[in-house]
A and B are shown apart, each in its own frame.
Chain A
């Protein structure tokens, strides 16, 4: 254990022990050994990093980290499963690099990034490791807590949380240009104005692709799978739209579908919403099916073992299809 952390613990020993005792009443499964291990492996590096930058803030950082560790270990969201592994990762890989932001507002930064890791790891299709890598880079750039957390939100969207697209873009607009460009993965010398404009025009534009945006139409991704294989759908789904929002119907269950260049996510739709989704078994006018291929304006989107097309829906730049032999929704990028 580092000297800084040891000092912080010694100086407030009675109080911290009291917190642990009180926490045991809230979290009966709070294990002292697991807690001690987490303090040593995860909390200590964070406190050391803060102490190296701002020795006078190490104690506050230690106390905030200690409280967060109680929640993490008490709720058993550390160690073991992949979800918990991402929480461990954020403590060991990101928080030490973000020492400046942690020193400025330890309780807020620690809690926010831990919760973000927890959410990302729990979102099907999200790429936790990609977010972690992005955060390592962003944490080194953003010393101010609000900016770091905003950049983290943008990075989370890019890591596959497609449902956050519109609000993440709004958050990115609030960042300094260099940080915004880094958060969306654009080259450092790019113009945020240009990048932002293209992101607004097409959900299939990825600023990080150095080889440019692939030609359209193309199959971007397949959203969902059979429930027996870990997906959400018990029955082959149908896709429709309400306004410009994709809706997916599987049996009696309804889902909202979000998709863009960075991923696709499905969310249970509230039960009472207006049942005016267009569950169209017919193909939109711009789309044709020939010999097992789906054509858009005469261009093939590729063959796939979907069986007969059972439903199709279009929003701007995006075509969604379902087939009689598939339990996923094929997302086709049209731009």
Chain B
């Protein structure tokens, strides 16, 4: 009996047409059987789609048929968009002029493609678990296997429940630990792992979960199970670490992106009605054309990493990340003047912020946060920037790509200081609750400052760093001294009469690094 295809219709390729240079056209008689009727299945010589196109088809199937998420919060514009102001609160409705996406569907899909970790948050009944199950089905697992392998957080979940247990007979008979065989839980070997309501897992069991999530292995009685690389999907009703147990910070930090389930638009109730009447569950009718094999996901990962990140985009990300770590009053030595130093010392945050450093606390982006951006978060940001560019069919990351994924990546990573003057300014109070909007605004302000400083054209620190990166082969002592002088002059100039903002702090440390490298090299030359 043929499967009911109407719920399995895929968007016709190309799903994101590009004005890319056309390759010389080849004519294949297999084209004869492609056309307006049906989707010709494999076997008639039809070539398979590029993986990015397949990913897009998966996205559009999910958003049009499965999850019904008619939201376009990830906005792209090819031209200035139409924008309207609504209501007394001056809510802004933007009509994007280019293909835009629902973050709630896109970010989990990118997580699937990159095999990273995504947390779904939102109230009950908003499709968090259903979305996670869909990702499992996209990986080729049956719905039954996905559901049975899903780990459900609850207060009685033990390490044995999560990872597996030793065989009782071996426990009795074994003379050595090595002789005890472990019955490992099947989900450990899956390429898509789902943990439902992870904030209901007891703390001790969270630690075992952390080992699996962070180091990809499970350990029971000195026996190790090496897990394959997998995409992780976790759900929580409350992303603030609430729930039955507080989520340990290290576990929260392993999550790469956080997506919030947006409210269902009742205008689309007819879609739900059709589904009810046809007794269709989206996860049971996933078209096989959008199911990815393990090999395809492996290849897709490679293709994503091959997406280029231009220096211009990288520099803006560097500038943005440099805003937040500095805490001038935290230490004597420059390297330790960070928020992390203060946090480790258990310093009272209000006491820190109350001490005047002369900086403009409204203008200083660093004043808006209680922490800086970690290396892990930066790497995640780079990875997802490439992933979204890949998804859009581009071989190069655009600044807008980074801007769009940044809020989801830093959602739980960059902690806002709600007492900062920024949040008191007129029109900014909403950013206390709108984490996505705040992070995007933060990035926009950073880019505006970057433009004001004209760093694309005038960045002496970058020039010196590039000079060093070119290598020291053939650089003689005289040249080294000249370069050292350049560094010292620049440090003097940057230090003169300026307030110490985050980006300046990082620039000075960079210059110190460059100076140290040349100093060491000069010493080596002298002793040769």
Contacts and interface: CB of A to CB of B under 8 A. Distances in A.
Interface in A261-295: 267, 269-273
Contact of A267 (B5, B21, B25, B33): B25
B32 A116 contact: yes
Contacts of A153: 29-30, 32-33
Interface string B8-48: 01000000000001111101111111111111110111000
A200 B308 CA distance: 45
Nearest to A155: B32
A115 B33 contact: yes
B117 to A, nearest CB: 37
Contact of B37 (A71, A164, A258): A71
Interface in B247-288: 274, 277-278
Nearest to B23: A270
Given A110-B38, A157-B29, A60 B24 contact: no
Contacts of B41: 107-108
Contacts of B40: 108, 111-112, 115
A22 interface: yes
Contacts of B29: 153-154, 156-157, 161, 164, 167-168, 171
Nearest to A172: B29
B36 A167 contact: no
Interface string B427-468: 000000000000000000000000000000000000000000
Given A22-B274, A267-B25, A60 B36 contact: no
B25 to A, nearest CB: 6
Given A107-B41, A112-B40, A114-B37, A272 B32 contact: no
Contacts of A111: 33, 35, 37-40
A41 B471 CA distance: 79
A284 B21 CA distance: 33
A84 B22 CA distance: 31
A18 B25 contact: no
Contacts of A116: 32-33, 35
B277 A67 contact: no
A118 B27 contact: no
Contacts, number: 114
A267 B27 CA distance: 10
B25 A256 contact: yes
A19 B44 contact: no
B32 A108 contact: no
A19 B36 contact: no
A67 B33 contact: no
B524 interface: no
A19 B6 contact: yes
A15 interface: yes
A266 B509 CA distance: 65
Contact of B4 (A19, A161, A267): A19
B36 A112 contact: no
B474 interface: no
Interface in B42-75: 43-45
Given A22-B278, A272-B21, A72 B37 contact: yes
A25 to B, nearest CB: 8
B35 A114 contact: yes
A331 interface: no
Contacts of A64: 2
B1 interface: yes
A119 B22 contact: no
Contacts of B30: 153, 167
Contact of B35 (A60, A115, A164, A258): A115
Contacts of A108: 38, 40-41, 43-44
B24 A270 contact: yes
Contacts of A267: 25, 27
Interface of B: 1-2, 4-6, 9, 21-25, 27-41, 43-45, 274, 277-278
Interface of A: 15, 18-19, 22-23, 26, 59-60, 63-64, 67-68, 71-72, 75, 77, 106-108, 110-116, 118-120, 146, 149, 152-154, 156-157, 161, 163-164, 167-168, 171, 256, 258, 267, 269-273
17 contacts: A18-B277, A72-B37, A110-B37, A112-B44, A113-B33, A114-B37, A115-B33, A115-B36, A115-B38, A116-B35, A118-B36, A118-B37, A157-B29, A163-B27, A164-B28, A267-B25, A267-B27
Given A26-B6, A111-B40, A114-B35, 5 more contacts: A26-B9, A106-B2, A107-B41, A115-B35, A258-B27
